[in-house]
Amino acid sequence: LTVMGEEGRTFSQEDGETLLALARQAAVAIDNAHMHRVIAKQALTDGLTGLSNHRAFQDQLRNEVERSQRFGLPLSLILLDLDEFKQVNDLHGHLAGDTVLRGVASVLRSAIREIDMAARYGGEEFAIVLPGTSAEGAVRLAERLRVAVAARPMGGGEGVPVACTASFGVAEMPGNAQTQVDLIAAADGALYAAKQGGRNRVIAAARNRAPRA
């Protein structure tokens, strides 16, 4: 706190005490504001990976769905699930599993645009919201991520690298869905097909058929 007065003026001890009291009040207000921001961020952030959590994902997706409907812009959603992740925990321990989750989160964070959102959907499942992106563009991104995850050894327990692959499901508005619930269901269905098809692959949801005249 810097205080300036008229040239030649000397501040009294009483002035100093008044300013000190004001500074303390300001410090408390600033600290409270900072803590409020921290708590608000924590409420929307996954504590392990640093990505957005499920609640933040649903809120952001809702906003993007409304924007897509209002302006007729494409919106794509990627859901990905780590393949046989239970084996990582069973063989290497849960600390190694946590390290793998953080490593995958880092891969996602480094590959998306600023307007995109990567979130931990739950457990070993992640979601990526891609505003203004067609299904074709989302599939290309998902394939790059699939390769990147498989090629990057994740740090495991005692420094032992852990190999990891992931399966991806891609869906798009309006090609696969008209609502938020349907978009998630379409991406989840494509993810299930990728799992059933052998894992470590990208599957796009089938486009809706045009209604009959």
Positions marked active-site: 124
Reading the block at residue 199, the tokens are: 């894992």
d(CA 207, CA 89): 37
d(CA 194, CA 150): 15
d(CA 211, CA 18): 75
Fill in the DSSP letter of residue 114: T
Specify whether the CB–CB gap between 119 and 46 falls below 8 A: yes
d(CA 184, CA 165): 22
Specify whether the CB–CB gap between 175 and 135 falls below 8 A: yes
131 strand-pairing partners:
75
Side-chain-facing half-sphere of 7: CA atoms under 13 Å: 0
